[in-house]
Each structure stands twice: as C-alpha cells, then as structure tokens.
Chains A and B, each alone.
Chain A
Amino acid sequence: MSRPRRLNLPAPARVTAGSDGRPVLVEGREVEAVRESWLVEDRWWTAAPLRRRYWEVLVAGGRNTVVFRDLEDGAWYEQASA
C-alpha cells in the first residue's frame, strides 16, 4: 500500500529579489505587482524552526503565483494554495 502523501508541498523556484527583499523575477518572468506579503513563523521552540516570508505576486502574462523565501536557508520556493 502506498504511504499517504502531503499535498501542496513547496517546489524550488528561481526567484530574483530586489534589495528590499521583494521578488522582481519569478521563473524568468517579471513581477508586475505584489498583491500581498506575510510572514509565517512556527516551531520556533524546536530544533527545526520554520520561518518563511510569503509573497503573492502577479507575473508578466497575468499569472497569479505565491512564492516564499525560507528565512532559515535563504532558498526560494513556489507553493500552490498558500
């Protein structure tokens, strides 16, 4: 039997950010507008804390997407249903 799988797992994304941390390019597409940004901090009491800065952005071509920067390792990810 297969094991249960988590849905909405983040996928690594190529994001270029400006000096203020805002995403400027997502997967090579220019960011036209930032719709919302929020911070998620969790499990700060454990050895594996979770700290993410989420950005909901509109990229060239009209696609709405959510990316986040992992504040622990500095990597960028794209995530559906955020």
Chain B
Amino acid sequence: MAGPAALAPEPGREQLVGEVSAAAEAAGVRPGMRLGEALSRCPALALVPPDPVAVNDAWEDVLARLESVGAAVEPGAPGLACFDARGLRRLHGGTLDGVVAATRAALRRPARIGAGPSRFCALAGASRARARRAEIVAGADDLASEPVALLRHCEQTAHLPVVLERLGIATLGALAALPRAAVADRFGAPGLHARELALGRDTPLRPRTPGERVEESLTLPESASGPQLERALALLIDRLLARRDRRGRMVRAAVLSAVLVEGGTWRERVVFREATSDPARMRLALSGRLMTMPAPAEALRLAVDRFGPPPGASGALFSDGTQQRRGRLREAVRQARAAAGPDAALRVLETDPDSRVPERRALLTPYE
C-alpha cells in the first residue's frame, strides 16, 4: 500500500485507529489515536477494515511455531512474543545465536528479534533490530538513549509517553535518572513501573501453556442474526462440549468469532464467572455477546480459550438432586456411546422451527 494507511477501528468499539503505515506515521498519525484526529491530521488516510479473526489465527500459528523450537512463550499483543532463551541454548548449539537461528527457521517469515536480560530490554532490542540481524540490549546503559515511546508496548505504561514527552523527558535514560519519589509523586504506580523498565528491570515472564486447539465452526447457509444465530450458537456449544479432546474439562474462557456478511470479521473473548461445562450457562453467557455483532454472520466459530479443572474438583456446598440426576444421565450417555458409538445418544435441536423448508427446521446433534 503506497499511501498513508491505518487499521480502522473495529465496529462497535472505541473509535481508535490500530496499526499505521510508515507514510501515515510521517503524517503524524499514531496507533491508538482517535479516528477523527487521525483523519484531520492526514485527510488522505486510507482505512483498512480490521479482520480480528484472521489476525488471531495467523498469530496463533506464529506462537505454535515458536513453541515448536521448545520455547515457553509469553504472548503479547499480536506481533509481540517473548520467551526465555536461557533454557534453550543447550538445545540449539549452546549459544544465543543458535537459538535466534532456530527461531528464524521455525518462523519462516521476516521477524525482528531482540534479546536482553528482561522482557523490556528484548523489546527495545527488537525495535532497533533489522529483519536479518538480532540486537542485544544488555541493560539500563543500552536503554538510556532509547525513546520513551517504547513504553507504549507495555499496557500499564502505554499512556505515559505523551505526558513524558510534553515534560521534556524524551529518553529512557532521562526517566531512569529521575528520583524514584518524584516519579511516584507525579505518575503513581505506572510511573514507578516505567522507571523500573527504564532501569532494565521487568516482571518475570508468564508463559502460556502450549496450545491445544479445541474449536467448532458452523457455516450458515444464509446470513443469520437474532434467533437463528442463537440456535447456531447452541449447536456449536453442544458440539464443543461433545469433543473427545476436551477430556471432561470445564471451560474457563471461550472465544466467539464470526465472518460477517458485509465483509470483515468479529471476535469476542468471554471469561465465565466460574469454569463450566453446562451448556445452558454457556449459552446464557455467550448469547448476550451475539447482540454486539455489528452485522449478520455467514459463519460462526466457538473456541476454548482456556480450560478449567475437570468437573467435581470443586463440589457444591449442598447436594442437589437435580445435579445428581443430570450427572447420572450424562454417565449413562457416556456408557451408551462407549458401547454403541458416538451416535448412540443424539438430540433434536431446532434451528429454524418456523422455516417453510422442512429440512431447515431441525438438526440431530450429539446429546451433551
């Protein structure tokens, strides 16, 4: 894309632009800027519609590739991932260069790689690195000349660069030189954290558990919204809960996404109040999010984002006969399936009961 371009805000979200091209940046447009301000600074700005589902899929692919070299990866925003290279050296020739080479080979796409004693140092290294050469930022001394704009990459300190620049504190070295008490007095906890970062210190990495993809998707024959979409969601929940690879675990968080009829995609992450494998509760929590979908959908997808413990790990305080009966019924269904195959217990799910086309009214779906 030759001209200035920026990622448009997602429908229904705050009107802030996303990533911006170099030409847009030269015109004064910054990521996270209000759309109105961005357009007034750069009237020729081209807005690229966001595709959060494709971004997430591509990012998941990148993280899986990093994990394939043995890295315990802490994912940041899409495009930014950190891992501790110390444990990997012996796997890849005993040097940091070996780890970097293995990482590049696994990624199979250009990437800027930085290394350092902390997450923030590595980030600073990556921001000054070129596509073919990794940069090492050894600590506070190497960070001193870096601009405070780097603090934008940390969620807690993302709002500070504008204020710091206005006060004439342009580099991390200048920030690190300020007295701790003065920083705390003026900026509070985020300021103290920014100062720690500028001194080359950071919180420990929190790597994710290497992924397993448990998801179900449904292509909708016609653009769906309202009750039809809710029925499609119910079907997806049933299918997800019936998956063997769930291994009886409850779902702590799920990601609901859709391909929209008007183009683009929509994505919502839902964290349940407590881990659950109860389809009714999942429907209740997820169907509310469907209302925020900006346009009818032509495909719907439900994925487990995080698993909870297996059921029974936290029992109820008082015994409930209904739960026991349901438990027995589930067990009976499991036994019937084990004996006669997965089709031993099915249920009829009404998808569009008022349709004039009979075969669209109901589906046979796994009983869960």
| A interface residues, Cβ below 8 angstroms from B | 1-2, 4-10, 40, 42-43, 50, 79-82
- The answer, yes or no, to whether B252 is at the interface (CB within 8 Å) is no
Q: State the majority secondary structure of interface residues on B.
A: mixed
Q: Of B87-95, B130-138, B360-368, which stretch is located at the interface?
A: B360-368
> A2: which B residues are within 8 A, CB to CB?
342-343, 366
Bound: A57/B364 CA distance, A: 28
Q: Are B363 and A4 in touch, CB under 8 angstroms? A: yes
Is B242's CB within 8 Å of the partner chain A?
A: yes
A4-B244 CB under 8 A given contacts A42-B356, A50-B357: no
Instruction: Please classify the interface of chain A as helix (H, G, I), strand (E, B), loop, or mixed, using the class held by over half of its residues.
Output: loop
Q: In the complex, which residues of chain B have a beta carbon less than 8 angstroms from the beta carbon of A81?
A: 358, 361
Q: Which of B230-261 contact A (CB under 8 A)?
A: 235, 239, 242-244
* A7 in contact with B366 given A42-B356, A80-B358 (CB within 8 Å): no
Report 23 cross-chain contacts, Cβ distance below 8 Å, ordered by A residue: A1-B239, A1-B242, A1-B243, A2-B343, A2-B366, A4-B239, A4-B363, A4-B365, A5-B363, A5-B364, A6-B364, A7-B359, A7-B361, A7-B362, A8-B358, A8-B361, A9-B359, A10-B358, A10-B359, A40-B357, A79-B359, A80-B358, A82-B358
Say if the beta carbon of B349 comes within 8 Å of chain A. Answer: yes
A2-B342, A2-B343, A43-B222 known; A7-B363 Cβ under 8 A: yes
- Which single residue of chain A is at the shortest CB-CB distance from B365? A4
